[in-house]
């Protein structure tokens, strides 16, 4: 019960921050998340609604990183373990406690892909002022990798372009 209360409070604070940012003219640029060992930034215009972990029905003959499908607010969404997909590896085995603390971030409906990505932790909103430096994406990385940012504490953050990800052929090819 306390986890649900904490999520409600976090979502309420996040909504209040978005509202105050709109009113003050300061615009947050990214949703900061952790997926596996990576710190990632999703452009806010690409991210959709955030959901608590829910039952995901597995789908046979799919890659390990494709966890299955879930009913998210009445819509059927494919669920991708983002850490496993980015690392091109097997799905990460998470305990029930870890799953209860993880979140599903739906892609913006304008991207026309009924998909949500599993992230381990939400880290809030970030603006450009939260970062000391940035560098362009390495040319050898997949096209959905955006610039890398270093925050004021020296931590590295990788932007993930969810629009490019949603059109990336390996991401769309869930079958083995």
Q: What is the pLDDT of residue 1?
A: 55
User: Over its length of 176 residues, how does the chain's per-residue pLDDT go in tens digits?
Assistant: 567 777 677 777 766 665 665 555 546 799 999 999 999 999 999 999 999 999 999 999 999 999 999 999 999 999 999 999 998 766 788 888 999 999 999 999 999 999 999 999 999 999 999 999 999 988 889 999 999 999 999 999 999 999 999 999 999 999 98
pLDDT at 7: 66
Please state, in angstroms and rounded to a whole number, the distance separating the CA atoms of residues 135 and 124. 22
At residue 91, the pLDDT reads: 72
Residue 19: per-residue pLDDT: 60
Position 4 scores a pLDDT of 72
- What pLDDT score was predicted for residue 20? 60
Instruction: Look at residue 23 in the predicted model and tell me its pLDDT.
Output: 54
Confirm whether pTM is higher than 0.75.
Answer: yes
- Domains of the chain with CATH codes: 2-172 (2.40.50.180)
For residue 93, what pLDDT is reported?
87
């Amino acid at each position: 019960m306390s986890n649900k209360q904490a999520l409600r409070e976090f979502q309420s604070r996040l909504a209040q921050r978005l509202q105050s940012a709109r009113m003050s003219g300061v615009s947050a640029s990214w949703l900061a998340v952790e997926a596996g060992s990576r710190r990632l930034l999703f452009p806010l215009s690409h991210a959709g609604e955030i959901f608590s972990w829910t039952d995901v029905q597995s789908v046979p003959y799919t890659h390990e990183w494709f966890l299955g499908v879930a009913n998210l607010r009445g819509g059927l969404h494919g669920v991708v373990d983002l850490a496993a997909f980015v690392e091109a590896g097997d799905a990460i085995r998470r305990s029930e406690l870890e799953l209860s603390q993880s979140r599903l971030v739906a892609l913006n409906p304008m991207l026309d892909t009924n998909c949500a990505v599993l992230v381990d932790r939400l880290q809030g909103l970030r603006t450009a002022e939260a970062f000391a430096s940035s560098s362009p994406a390495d040319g050898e990385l997949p096209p959905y990798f955006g610039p890398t940012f270093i925050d004021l504490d020296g931590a590295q953050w990788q932007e993930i372009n969810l629009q490019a990800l949603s059109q990336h052929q390996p991401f769309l090819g869930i079958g083995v």
